[in-house]
């Protein structure tokens, strides 16, 4: 996102996925001819355990889903590398059991949850959401999870809980890029309490009916479909209720480029590129980006009276 100069941007970031996959296959084929045992084609994406008892949701889009193999091989998860295929290749070192999530701060019932308790906290739903990355691509992903509001109800926030901070695991033995300073670790994101309580805000534990693949943020990640993808913190170990807006990782990295709200907004450009259009992964022609990523009917009221150029 910020780290790469245009000249450094790998082809995977600016090329439609089919094109680069074909190119990779071609290059792999050439390499195989040159050094047969040394290189092989990339392994197909691994499938996980099926999740049981998933209910459909009225919040799902009917748009065509992005194929499983694209959702699980074209990722942003800088803890495992900055290239789109790095997370799928490297995230196997992440250990997702046992996994504890501390829910703390301005709440009456702070506690540490085991991930398997969280899986039983509320009925699991399938939510087919659009995901719009700030880089200009988008996908449609059938998440499995439950509303964050269900967890918030359990811990009973106090009047001082104005914001919620989400913190990713910090363990350089499991997350190799945390030995580098490419970002200020651990990855931190945040929401205003009303955004966190909004019925669209999801804690995801799966996708395509299966346990969440590691590269997608196993075992627990946030999904906030009307905001740019980077708000959706992966592999969460702490949910912290606070009085002041958390300083997020991307605000620290480039405060003029990434604000706290980060609502998808085709009218407010990133300082270095337009946000008016997006490329849906798997499609050739660009689409118009929709206000609040198409969720304006549900979320515009949260921002009534706010200047979205100031609060970007």
Is 120 exposed, middle or buried (CB count within 10 Å of its CB: 0-12, 13-18, 19+)? Answer: exposed
75 binds ligand MTE, rule: CB under 6 A: yes
- Residue 112 CA to residue 134 CA, distance in Å, equals 32
Burial 45-68 (b: 16+ CB within 10 A, else e): beebeebeebeebebbbeeebbeb
Nearest to ligand MTE of 106, 205 (CB atom): 205
The span from the CA of 75 to the CA of 78, in Å, is: 9
Which one, 133 or 141, has the nearer CB to Mo ion? 133
168 binds ligand MTE (CB under 6 A): yes
Least Cβ distance, residue 160 to ligand MTE (angstroms): 26
Q: How far apart are CA 137 and CA 279, in angstroms?
A: 5
Looking at the Cβ atoms of 185 and 250, the one nearer to Mo ion is 250
User: Which one of residues 79, 86, 125, 278 is an interface residue with ligand MTE (CB under 6 A)?
Assistant: 79
List Cβ neighbours of 111 (8 Å cut-off, separation of 6 or more): 102, 103, 104, 155
d(CA 60, CA 56): 8
**Which position among 77, 230, 241, 292 is part of the footprint of Mo ion (CB under 5 A)?**
230
Dist CA 115 CA 202 (whole Å): 15
Q: Which of 218, 229, 231 is nearest to 118 (CA)?
A: 218
Interface with Mo ion, residue 229, by CB under 5 A: yes
Q: Return the residues of window 147-166 that contact Mo ion according to CB under 5 A.
A: none
Cα–Cα dist 191/193, whole Å: 6
* Least distance to ligand MTE, CB of residue 102, Å: 16
The distance of Cα 167 from the centroid of its chain, to the nearest Å, equals: 13
The interface partner of residue 78, options being Mo ion, ligand MTE, none and the CB cut-off 5 to 8 Å by kind, is ligand MTE
Residue 124 touching Mo ion (CB under 5 A) = no
Q: Residues 133, 148, 155, 264: which binds ligand MTE (CB under 6 A)?
A: 133
Given ligand MTE, Mo ion, none, residue 233, with its beta carbon under 5 to 8 Å by kind, binds ligand MTE
Nearer to ligand MTE, 20 or 230 (CB): 230
224 binds, among Mo ion, ligand MTE, none (CB under 5 to 8 A by kind): none
The H or E element spanning position 30 is helix 17-34
248: contact with ligand MTE by CB under 6 A: no
Smallest gap from Cβ 222 to ligand MTE, in A, equals 8
Q: Does 128 bind ligand MTE (CB under 6 A)?
A: no
CA pair distance 221, 262, nearest whole angstrom: 17
Residues 169 and 99: their CA atoms lie apart, in Å, by 10
Q: Which part of the chain contacts ligand MTE (CB under 6 A), choosing from 14-22, 42-50, 57-65, 224-232?
A: 224-232
Q: State the nearest-atom distance from the C-beta of 77 to ligand MTE, in Å.
A: 5
Question: Taking contact as CB under 6 A, which single stretch among the options 43-51, 72-80, 269-277, 292-300 is the one that binds ligand MTE?
Answer: 72-80
Contact predicate 61/128, CB 8 Å: yes
For residue 216, state whether it binds ligand MTE (rule: CB under 6 A).
yes
Give the residues lining the site for Mo ion (CB under 5 A): 76, 133, 229-230
Give the residues lining the site for ligand MTE (CB under 6 A): 75-79, 131, 133, 168, 187, 216-217, 229-230, 232-235
């Amino acid at each position: 996102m910020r780290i790469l100069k245009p000249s450094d941007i790998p082809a995977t970031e600016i090329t439609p996925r089919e094109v680069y996959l074909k190119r990779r296959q071609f290059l792999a084929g050439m390499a195989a001819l040159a050094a047969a045992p040394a290189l092989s084609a990339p392994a197909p994406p691994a499938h996980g355990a099926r999740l049981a008892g998933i209910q459909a949701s009225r919040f799902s889009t009917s748009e065509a889903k992005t194929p499983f193999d694209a959702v699980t091989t074209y990722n942003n998860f800088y803890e495992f590398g900055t290239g789109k295929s790095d997370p799928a290749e490297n995230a196997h070192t992440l250990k997702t059991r046992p996994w504890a999530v501390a829910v703390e701060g301005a709440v009456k019932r702070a506690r540490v949850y085991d991930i398997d308790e969280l899986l039983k906290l509320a009925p699991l739903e399938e939510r087919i959401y659009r995901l719009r990355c700030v880089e200009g691509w988008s996908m449609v992903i059938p998440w499995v999870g439950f509303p964050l509001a269900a967890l918030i109800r359990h811990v009973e926030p106090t009047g001082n809980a104005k914001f919620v901070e989400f913190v990713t695991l910090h363990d350089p033995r499991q997350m190799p890029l945390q030995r580098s300073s490419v970002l200020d670790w651990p990855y931190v994101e945040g929401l205003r309490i009303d955004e966190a309580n909004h019925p669209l805000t999801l804690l995801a534990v799966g996708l395509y009916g299966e346990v969440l693949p590691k590269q997608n943020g196993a075992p627990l990640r946030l999904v906030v479909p009307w905001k740019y993808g980077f708000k959706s913190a992966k592999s969460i170990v702490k949910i912290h209720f606070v009085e002041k807006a958390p300083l997020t990782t991307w605000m620290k990295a480039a405060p003029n480029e990434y604000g706290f709200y980060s609502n998808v907004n085709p009218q407010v450009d990133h300082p270095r590129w337009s946000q008016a259009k997006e490329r849906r992964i798997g499609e050739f022609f660009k689409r118009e980006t929709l206000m609040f990523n198409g969720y304006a009917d549900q979320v515009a009221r949260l921002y009534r009276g706010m200047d979205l150029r100031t609060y970007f």
